[in-house]
Structure 1
């Protein structure tokens, strides 16, 4: 199994240039496409890439920028909030809605599982998953 996030890889560059299911997760790691990555990830139509967010409180307009850039290709975004449920501040909700995104917030395990189900159905989904 290869480890994603090598030193020579530009920050934000996709590990995989396509969407794949999330095969598993454990404390601070995600497994996908035969790889593993320590830290949070974005699973978007352009691929799976690292996400610099460590805690839900760090979600802001800048951290949402890669998601907003792909908003037209995403029917539904799952935002994994870590271990616990959380609520997005109204200005950030408005930002996502203005981009035409529908979104659901839930703890990361539930977000990853729901993303996998809809991805398997061929739905245009995305996930922003904060590592546990």
Structure 2
């Protein structure tokens, strides 16, 4: 399964990045996240975080790519499935940003996971993108 969404945000890139990388505060932006615990500080390459979401078992995510003010990617592994989530900020000529979120699942059980949770996953990623937009534009 692969799902992508892009939202245009009328806010400075630094504002958007600071909200995006402050993963422990994501529950303030979206009801798709109950709680996030950063396990390794500072939040950067190789950091881990435990994410608690409604209707989904808690998962530990490890940051696999990180470029300050631009992007981070993290992944979570469970038996038979690896989930990869990328968070990219693209600066626009007008000084605002487009945020591009991508979620990919791969592995032998990925098709089954997609059948069981694909709709919910797409809904949650959409909620997260829209929540980030609303918070950044306030």
Please report the TM-score for the alignment, with normalisation by the length of structure 2.
0.26
TM-score, normalized by length of structure 1? 0.27
Q: Which protein has the bigger strand share?
A: 2
